[in-house]
Chain A
């Protein structure tokens, strides 16, 4: 059995374990990325904790997590349930809502930045010309994070809906029919049959959402680069800035360790839930 696992194991060691160990090690060194690393002990972590931008980035990661655990999940669940009930519309609607997922992140980011939010070339600009006073949310440090989150939700929720729909289709048709015969409406069916029926999938997606939320980078980097005034800064953009603009790889690695810590916590919760489920089953 171990022989079968060997190729995957080797790949994981090379592309995950080795970089992870090197990153963890780098967090304890002062290194500009090109010279000789110098031992720094916990200095990188101390500097990071003393930096208010780190705390605002961490807070933004938590806000991002809460947004993505609620808004796209709710949208996707309702859409999946609706599509389950309306099989004729399924193929067309699934294709439409899945489409944003296959558009490159950079393209999506630029579309929203230039064609929607821009006061010069976007819908916001058009609305302003027609008497509506709307400012570009990406230019406001208090709203920029939510604006980028909206872009990512547009890109993400359709995929989530398709995943939930696939899980719902595994639920026994008899069970759904029986609930209907007992007089269950859409929301009763949703609450008492569909949601419990997809609980393992839902749990997995929520756990993955937590992990991904602490790794979020692309959309923020492309659309706002963490600004303005650090308004949409998250841990990944914080780390990137330190590594590649400030030549402070150690500090970036320390931030990466914090990101990984939250991912590990989420993974631990997932494993614990699995073990609990297994225990209940047996």
Chain B
């Protein structure tokens, strides 16, 4: 392959960084090394990665040696640089399809179709998740997990106050107003340590107000983001913020502090994701006598009932320059074993919920966390049936998603109008759609 001058210019800083990485190395015992960079993991997560993945894989076979490095929050940037230089790890983990798009379009990862054929992955993964990694008819990644926004609530507090689990906007606002009247924060929420909390909330507003069909139309370019259903969604988010539904200290509290407000009864509910199960410091327990969780209810007239949101928190690919693609594929295959599923979800719930098709109840029960098991079973059923909304971090392209997160603060703090916000979002989205940066959209059924 010849390299253009532009590619050469792009590769110079990357090459400088990655020049010293070992390639196609062999361990002392002759096993071929498979390298894997992981992003952020708390202490529980790091222990689970070490015990349930690295050591378990290395003990389960004698051909390959998995070596994992936890790189922290900067892993996406490091990975891009290393891939451009042709020296990335064998296993390329991205933070989801929105991140994978650029890497796959640039041809930095291998098509997995041959491995998929060999290991029958297409028959074993849920199609909506697997299809988010198909570009030009080729499969470039496996989904590492599925996630969704949910309504976490303090069931003790609900019981004490005679509140019922809301099933629509009116009931939700009744509970929220009743909570406010009692000095209880309706929704524990805070983005001081992670601005992405804004998009967690906006995922709920866009999908549950405008409806998942309209969101899908907008993502496929059939409906502009400036259309009335989305204006209503943004206006509702602003109205809730201004009424104090997210408390007075949204910009000051961390995720953990705000979630603990719900567990401690200072707040009634939280709109959060399934990853919350995997963070012990959030205060939930197994079994949980205080907290409960449910899919988010409709907040508009587009649909009735409740909704989960399709999300893939991470994808797994094999680097184009990998010297050990077979070994990387063997790691993926190991992840599909029942033993790994049970161990990883027991030790780090919600972070590695592999979207496998076959998920018998006894497999989930082995995890030993009833609330999590109930949530995953419900999620699995909804995703299998094609009944879901679309999360911003999985399906919105990079610049549009970044603006969604940053710009909504301007709306809530009265710096710009909802119309101006959506107009800017539409401009960015149109440009990124033209450039082919929108991740593939799975179909949904009503």
Contact = CB atoms under 8 A, between A and B. Distances in A.
A and B are interacting partners: yes
Interface of A: 18-19, 22, 25, 29, 31-38, 113, 117-121, 135-136, 138-139, 141, 225-230, 241, 244-248
A36 B6 contact: yes
A33 B80 contact: yes
User: Majority SS of interface residues in chain B?
Assistant: helix
B12 A228 contact: no
Given A34-B103, A37-B6, A120-B253, A225 B402 contact: no
Contact of B80 (A34, A139, A227): A34
Q: Across the A-B interface, give the 5 residue pairs with the lowest CB-CB distance, nearest first.
A: A139-B251, A35-B106, A246-B399, A229-B409, A136-B252
22 contacts: A33-B80, A33-B102, A34-B83, A34-B84, A34-B103, A35-B102, A35-B105, A35-B106, A118-B253, A119-B253, A120-B252, A138-B192, A141-B413, A227-B195, A228-B251, A229-B413, A230-B406, A230-B409, A230-B415, A245-B398, A245-B402, A246-B399
A229 B195 CA distance: 11
**Contact residue range for chain B?**
35 or more
Interface string B138-156: 0000000000000000000
B281 interface: no
B394 interface: no
A87 B437 CA distance: 65
User: Majority SS of interface residues in chain A?
Assistant: loop
Contacts of B30: none
Contacts of B250: 139
- Chain A CB within 10 Å — which of B4, B102, B251, B252 has the most? B252
A18 B81 CA distance: 17
A227 B409 contact: yes
A26 to B, nearest CB: 8
B393 to A, nearest CB: 11
B13 A229 contact: no
A18 B9 CA distance: 11
B67 interface: no
A87 to B, nearest CB: 44
A119 to B, nearest CB: 5
B42 interface: no
B195 A246 contact: no
Contacts of A31: 10
Contacts of A141: 409, 413, 415
Contact of A36 (B10, B83, B252, B413): B10
Nearest to B106: A35
A113 B254 CA distance: 10
B257 interface: yes
B413 A117 contact: no
Given A119-B249, A136-B252, A247-B399, A228 B409 contact: yes
B13 A19 contact: yes
A32 B409 contact: no
B422 to A, nearest CB: 16
A153 to B, nearest CB: 21
Contacts of A118: 192, 252-253
B170 interface: no
A244 B252 contact: no
Nearest to A38: B6
Given A34-B106, A117-B252, A247-B399, A225 B409 contact: no
Contacts of B410: 229-230
A27 to B, nearest CB: 13
A212 B412 CA distance: 32
A71 to B, nearest CB: 24
Interface in B411-428: 412-413, 415
A225 B398 contact: no
B251 A227 contact: yes
B76 interface: yes
